[in-house]
Amino acid sequence: MARILVIIFLLTSLLGKSFATTVTEVRSQKGLSAWLVKEHSIPFVALEVRIKGGTTLDRDGKRGAVYLMSALMNEGAGDLDSSQFSAEMERLALKLDFDVYQDSMSISVKFLTENKDEAIDFIKMALLQPRFDNEPIERVRSQIISILGSNSKDPNKISSKVFFQKAFPNHPYGSGKEGSIETVSLINREDILNAYFDVFNQKELFISAVGDISESELASLIDEIFGSIPISERPMIDSAKYSLGGGSTVVDYDTPQSVVIFGQKGIKRDDSDFFPAYVLNHILGGSGFGSKLMQELREKNGLTYGISTYLVNWENADLLLGQFSSSNDTAYKAVNMVKDVWKELVTNGVSSKELEDAKTFLIGAYPLRFDGNSRIANILVGMQMQGLSVDYIENRNKKINDVSLEDLKRVASKILIEDELHFVIVGRPTS
């Protein structure tokens, strides 16, 4: 029988309304676990699944195999070829999407309650019996190669590619998840099958469901769909050593505006200072027109239309990244101004008003994320991936509210190291 833990959390919107939602941890007879939020008012279910590993599991010389495999998961399974597969999804009013990232694969499902049994059979077939027929392999391969060709002419894609190549030269993080034209061209069906068996591993599954389904129904569903996925040891993934120091790299490209991506090491998600760092980043470059970088570079000096920063937490690397564009004749001035803001935050910290404004926004906006079954399911599975407990939803806003000016000053000195900032500039910047 499923083991059930019930935790209730309250979400208060900006309009003052309160919403009580019960998150239930369901454990199936086969030992699989899922988080469930029951919502019987609308007769459909949203299911979100993550499998740890992602494109970092590409084998040597086969970069892009996992990405190609994931793109083929909707191109036929069992007795259904690609067109029959699509027609059956339409008949069932079923939505089944696959995506893949550096550290994980996502499977997103929506189905109507009235079609639950047929939907379960279809999803099981799709996951366990993908066809990987030659026609869709060649068609999807051509699409990916076309995208890669287009990316090679996009300054934004070029800047990102160069930054990560230099940051992680001997790790999958250092190359795009799609692979290169050269590697994708050489991937064959055996490589795709290898990618499938490397990724689909029952030990690395995380599942959440929101909608018109009971605990016992969900327990049966996850056993039926996922209980036959093989259990294996995930291939070893090398640790990612961040190799960029301070400075800049210029990529010559004929464009009137220089595109800039910049960054340095970040902070781990489980670090005790993560929440101060999260609030600090919001003030630095995560709050749109109100951020310090936007105020300095756009509002006061007109050097860019927009600039932002964000924290990145991968399984094997943690980064603080940012990006902006500026005219070639002002790009270096903008770069130097970013460095000045870095130093100013370390030296002077932030004001009480900046901190209170950040708290008001981050606390007030959080409930708005819980809008719809799919979004809630996505949040819950993401929490599981990060090793968070259900009561994180209750405690998250308190952790933000507890951040003090002293915390921000300390964390700024800890993570904002101006001498470690590296800028990749794509364009023809002039001094």
Q: What is the mean pLDDT of residues 58-78?
A: 97
Whole-number average pLDDT of the chain: 93
What is the per-residue pLDDT for 238? 76
Do the strands 247-252 and 422-427 form a parallel or antiparallel pair, or are they unpaired? parallel
Cβ-contact 418, 346 below 8 angstroms: yes
What is the per-residue pLDDT for 233? 82
In tens, the pLDDT along 111-131 reads 999 999 999 999 999 999 999
CA dihedral 424→319→150→81, nearest 10 degrees, is 170
What is the per-residue pLDDT for 17? 35
In tens, the pLDDT along 412-426 reads 999 999 999 999 999
Q: What is the mean pLDDT of residues 381-396?
A: 91
What is the per-residue pLDDT for 427? 98
Going along the chain from its start, the domains and CATH numbers come out as: 3-226 (3.30.830.10), 247-427 (3.30.830.10)
What is the per-residue pLDDT for 8? 38
What is the per-residue pLDDT for 244? 96
What is the per-residue pLDDT for 338? 98
Tokens 């689909």, located at residue: 200
Which pTM was predicted? Answer: 0.91
pLDDT confidence band for 14 (50 / 70 / 90)? very low
Q: Which residues contact 356 (CB under 8 A, 6 or more apart)?
A: none
Cβ-contact 105, 53 below 8 angstroms: yes
Q: What is the mean pLDDT of residues 227-231?
A: 92
pLDDT confidence band for 62 (50 / 70 / 90)? very high
Local structure of residue 286 (DSSP, 8 states): I
Interatomic CA distance for residues 295 and 137, integer angstroms: 48
What is the per-residue pLDDT for 9? 40
Given a cut of 60, whether residue 10 has pLDDT beyond it is no
Q: Would residue 288 be called left, alpha or beta, if left means φ above 0 and alpha means ψ between -120 and 50 degrees?
A: left
Q: Which parts of 242-384 are beta strand (E)?
A: 247-252, 257-265, 307-313, 318-327
Interatomic CA distance for residues 431 and 429, integer angstroms: 7
Four-residue CA torsion sign, 301, 340, 363, 324: positive
Given a cut of 80, whether residue 66 has pLDDT beyond it is yes
Given a cut of 50, whether residue 19 has pLDDT beyond it is no
In tens, the pLDDT along 328-339 reads 999 999 999 999
The CA–CA distances, whole Å, from 58 to 65, 144, 269 equal 6, 16, 25
* Helix, strand or coil, per DSSP, at residue 227: coil
Given a cut of 70, whether residue 212 has pLDDT beyond it is yes
What is the per-residue pLDDT for 232? 85
Q: How many CB atoms lie within 10 A of CB 377?
A: 26
